[in-house]
């Protein structure tokens, strides 16, 4: 994929537009922080990862090995990321178009 982006012959439409200086017509995709399409799925996936992390937390406390702590922390961080995305999407949905739109 990186080769196609760097090579003019295999360039995608966005790169071709950038090389031609026509970026005004190119629209942006979803924001970099958006992990799910809808807030509902963000809450569902956030809850899923939070349950996994919270269920593994007592095991990590009892066992105390670095692998258990790494897995628990990873699951809880995934939950945090999905829940933050869901809250941001929900706030965007409820705010509606601004006065300048």
* 42-77 pLDDT, tens digit each: 999 999 999 999 999 999 999 889 999 999 999 999
Please compute the mean of the pLDDT values over residues 91-98 and round it to a whole number. 80
Who wins on pLDDT, 86 or 99? 86
pLDDT at 73: 96
Question: Residue 79 class from Cβ within 10 Å (0-12 exposed, 13-18 middle, 19+ buried)?
Answer: buried
> Count of residues for the chain?
101
Answer whether residue 93 shows pLDDT above 80.
yes
């Amino acid at each position: 994929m990186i080769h196609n982006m760097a090579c003019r012959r295999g360039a995608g439409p966005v790169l071709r537009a950038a090389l031609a200086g026509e970026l005004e017509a190119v629209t942006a995709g979803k924001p970099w922080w958006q992990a799910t399409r809808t807030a509902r799925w963000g809450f569902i996936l956030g809850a899923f990862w939070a349950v996994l992390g919270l269920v593994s937390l007592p095991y990590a406390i009892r066992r105390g090995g670095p692998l258990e702590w790494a897995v628990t922390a990873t699951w809880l961080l995934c939950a945090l990321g999905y829940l933050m995305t869901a809250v941001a999407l929900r706030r965007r949905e409820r705010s509606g178009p601004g006065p300048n739109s």
